């Protein structure tokens, strides 16, 4: 089979030096839709180098790292990109992400799960600089048609939403060109730009990167529930429950409890079709 679970998990971790500066951070933020209105002081924190802070989800693209696509070239993994979807993502922050940095990322396939009609790869990256650990990220990669070998199905974590109306609901538009801008931060999968490739994957047009929705959602939580303070975020995880098409509108519902914000994200134009589920931001 194209995935050899034992070989993939047993492979030696791969380490690489990564670096980033304020231009990478600004480009990432712009790819999430930051900067509207352009002169809003709250938006300038994402776009102007003299005021810049770093949204923690930048960790998913910093220095490109192993990345979702890069991890699919790990030993024991040989699959068709058209069969791949990002199933989930988590980040644990050990310190705030600096505006500019140089670090070492150590990446490996942490697990391979058998979901029957699909396999799930857990790609783990641990990043540290000269001062110690910065963040740990896990990407759960859903590979259609690669399950069924009788392996471990893995965990199935579901979050029960509070039994009350959301504490806050906001809507965020996705620009028609947003996937084209976001991919400049390092995810070059043609699924997000090439209509012909999108058709091979079963979509009538390119879809937005799941990690773009992920970043947009965290920005909404930070801006509306955490007083705009990115340093308060301790961890952030989600399950990708559906796709987003450029030009749609995200409806982001948030429930605040002590030290955490639960979130759901839906696509407004498709009758609130689920986009992100089991989403949790833990904070100080």
Q: How far apart are CA 243 and CA 275, in angstroms?
A: 6
Longest CA span, the chain = 56
How deeply is 100 buried, as exposed, middle or buried, from its count of CB atoms within 10 A (0-12, 13-18, 19+)?
middle
Does residue 265 contact residue 170 with C-beta atoms inside 8 Å?
no
Which residue of the set 24, 114, 187, 223 is catalytic? 187
Alpha-carbon span 195 to 268, nearest angstrom: 23
What number of other Cβ atoms are within 10 A of residue 268's Cβ? 14
The alpha carbon dihedral of 187, 4, 138, 107 has a sign of negative
Choose among 12, 25, 13: nearest CA to 59: 25
User: For this structure, is 40 an active site residue?
Assistant: no
Cα 179 to Cα 216: distance, rounded to the nearest angstrom: 12
Cβ burial 108-123 (10 Å sphere, 16+ → b, else e): bbbbbbbbeebbbbbb
Does residue 29 have an active-site annotation?
A: no
Among residues 192, 209, 223, 283, the one annotated as catalytic is 192
Structure tokens, 258: 């002590």
List residues with catalytic annotation.
187, 192
């Amino acid at each position: 089979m194209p995935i050899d679970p034992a070989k993939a998990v047993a492979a030696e971790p791969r380490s690489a030096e990564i670096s980033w500066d304020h231009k990478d951070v600004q480009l990432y933020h712009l790819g999430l839709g930051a900067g509207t209105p352009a002169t809003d002081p709250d938006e300038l924190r994402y776009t102007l180098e003299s005021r810049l802070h770093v949204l923690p989800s930048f960790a998913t693209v910093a220095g490109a790292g192993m990345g979702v696509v890069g991890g699919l070239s790990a030993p024991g993994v040989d699959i068709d990109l058209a069969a791949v979807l990002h199933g989930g993502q988590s980040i644990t922050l050990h310190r705030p992400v600096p505006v500019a940095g140089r670090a070492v990322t150590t990446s490996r396939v942490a697990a391979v799960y058998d979901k029957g009609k699909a396999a799930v790869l857990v790609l783990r990256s641990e990043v540290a600089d000269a001062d110690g650990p910065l963040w740990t990220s896990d990407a759960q990669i859903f590979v259609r048609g690669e399950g069924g070998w009788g392996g471990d199905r893995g965990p199935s974590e579901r979050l029960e939403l509070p039994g009350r109306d959301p504490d806050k609901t906001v809507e965020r538009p996705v620009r028609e060109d947003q996937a084209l801008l976001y991919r400049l931060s390092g995810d070059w999968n043609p699924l997000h730009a090439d209509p012909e490739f999108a058709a091979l994957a079963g979509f009538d047009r390119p879809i937005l990167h799941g990690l773009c929705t992920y970043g947009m959602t965290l920005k909404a939580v930070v801006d509306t529930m955490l007083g705009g303070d990115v340093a308060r975020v301790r961890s952030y995880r989600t399950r990708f429950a559906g796709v987003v098409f450029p030009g749609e509108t995200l409806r982001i519902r948030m429930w605040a409890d002590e030290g955490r914000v639960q979130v759901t994200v839906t696509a407004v134009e498709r009758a609130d079709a689920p986009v992100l589920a089991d989403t949790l931001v833990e904070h100080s």
